[in-house]
Amino acid sequence: MSDTAVRVRELRKKYGDVTAVDGIDLDIARGEVFALLGPNGAGKTTTVEILEGHRRRDGGEVSVLGEDPSRAGRTWRSKLGIVLQSATDAAEFTVRETVHHFATYFPRPRDPESVIELVGLSGKADARIRNLSGGQRRRVDVALGVVGSPELLFLDEPTTGFDPEARRQFWSLISLLASEGTTIVLTTHYLDEAEALADRVGVIAAGRVVAVGDPATLAGRAEAEATVCWSTPDGERRIKTSSPTKVVAELIAQFDGEIPDLTVTRPTLEDTYLGLIGEHP
Amino acid sequence: MTTTLPLRSTDIEADPVPRLPSAARLALKRGAMELKGFFRTKGQFIVIFSLPAIMLMLLGAMSGSRAGLPGITGAQILTAGMIGAGIMGTSFQNLGINIALERHDGTLKRLYGMPMPRVAYFGGKIIQVLVCMLAEVALLITVGVLMFGVALPTTVNQWLTFTWVLVLGGISCTFLGIAAGSLPKSTRGANAVITLPFLIVQFCSGVYIPFSDVPGFLQIFASIFPLKWMTQGMRSVFLPEQAVVLEPAGSWELPMVALALGGWCLLGLILCLKTFRWTARDDG
- The ipTM (two decimal places) reads 0.84
DSSP codes of every residue in A92-130: TSBHHHHHHHHHTTSSSPBPHHHHHHHTT-GGGTTSBGG
Q: Cα–Cα distances in Å, from B99 out to A92, B47, B171, B175, B192?
A: 15, 16, 16, 12, 14
**Residue B191: beta bridge partners?**
none
Question: Would you call A105 and B21 a contact, using CB atoms and an 8 Å cutoff?
Answer: yes
Q: What residue of A is the nearest CA neighbor of B12?
A: A108
Q: What residue of B is the nearest CA neighbor of A97?
A: B33
Kindly report the backbone phi and psi dihedral angles of residue A165, in degrees, each rounded to the nearest multiple of 5, phi listed first.
-70, -45
Question: Would you call A102 and B114 a contact, using CB atoms and an 8 Å cutoff?
Answer: yes
Question: Would you call A74 and B116 a contact, using CB atoms and an 8 Å cutoff?
Answer: yes
A264: confidence class by pLDDT, cuts 50, 70, 90: confident
Annotated domain spans of chain A: 4-219, 225-265
pLDDT in tens, B48-78: 889 999 999 998 888 765 556 777 888 888 9
Strand order in the sheet with A59-64: A18-29, A4-15, A59-64
Question: Would you call A87 and B20 a contact, using CB atoms and an 8 Å cutoff?
Answer: no
pLDDT of residue B283: 42
**Contact partners, residue A95, CB within 8 Å, separation at least 6:** A116, A121, A124, A125, A126, A127, A129, A132, A140, A143
Element at B23 (helix H, strand E):
helix B23-40
Interface check for A43 against chain B (CB to CB < 8 A): the answer is: no
pLDDT in tens, A202-248: 988 888 888 888 877 776 666 667 888 888 878 888 888 877 888 78
Q: What residue of A is the nearest CA neighbor of B121?
A: A105
Contacts of B281 in chain A (CB under 8 A): none
Which whole number is the average pLDDT over B265-281? 85
Interface check for A281 against chain B (CB to CB < 8 A): the answer is: no
Annotated domain spans of chain B: 21-64+71-275
Of all residues in chain B, what percent are helix, strand and coil, respectively (each to 5)? 75, 0, 25
Closest alpha carbon to B125 in B37, B197, B30: B30
Q: Which fold is adopted by the domain A4-219?
A: Rossmann fold (3.40.50)
Interface check for A111 against chain B (CB to CB < 8 A): the answer is: yes
